[in-house]
């Protein structure tokens, strides 16, 4: 299995600078033509942004969101506890949200 395409490869495929490719993919100060060109190249080579890398570069923490039908279901409770315990060992935060409810409860699991 090969490596994932990088932003450098997207820029090369689109014939633009790395900074232009980044701006085009994030929607910051890029012309519609530049965005189209870069996104077409990204799709052609199979580029997918790495959310974890982006979060680390921007100084944020990865987010994990759980949407479940019934948060009181013992199977979900056990699973969520195990996941939150694992996330507690990492610089991440988790949010629990019943799938049908409009409110949100958050649980920070930062180390």
Q: Does residue 1 lie in a domain region?
A: no
Residues 101 and 81 reside in one and the same domain = yes
**Chain segment 18-44, per-residue pLDDT in tens:** 999 999 988 778 899 999 999 999 999
* Domain assignment of residue 83, yes or no: yes
Pairwise CA distance, residues 107 & 72, whole Å: 16
The answer to whether residue 64 is domain-embedded is yes
Residues 72 and 45 in one domain: no
Assigned domain for 88 exists? yes
User: Per the structure, how many domains does the chain have?
Assistant: 2
Q: Is 18 inside a domain boundary?
A: yes
Task: Give residue 19's domain range.
Answer: 7-49
Per residue in 2-23, pLDDT (tens digit) is: 688 999 999 999 999 999 999 9
Residue 11 lies in a domain: yes
């Amino acid at each position: 299995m090969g490596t994932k395409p990088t932003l450098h490869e997207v820029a090369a495929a689109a014939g633009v600078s790395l900074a232009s490719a980044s701006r085009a993919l994030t929607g910051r100060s890029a012309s519609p033509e530049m965005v189209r060109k870069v996104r077409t190249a990204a799709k052609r080579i199979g580029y997918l942004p790495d959310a974890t890398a982006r979060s680390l570069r921007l100084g944020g923490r990865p987010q994990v969101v759980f949407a479940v039908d019934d948060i009181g279901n013992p199977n979900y409770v056990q699973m969520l506890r195990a996941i939150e315990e694992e996330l507690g060992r990492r610089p991440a935060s988790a949010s629990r949200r019943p799938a049908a409810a409009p409110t949100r409860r958050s649980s920070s699991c930062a180390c």
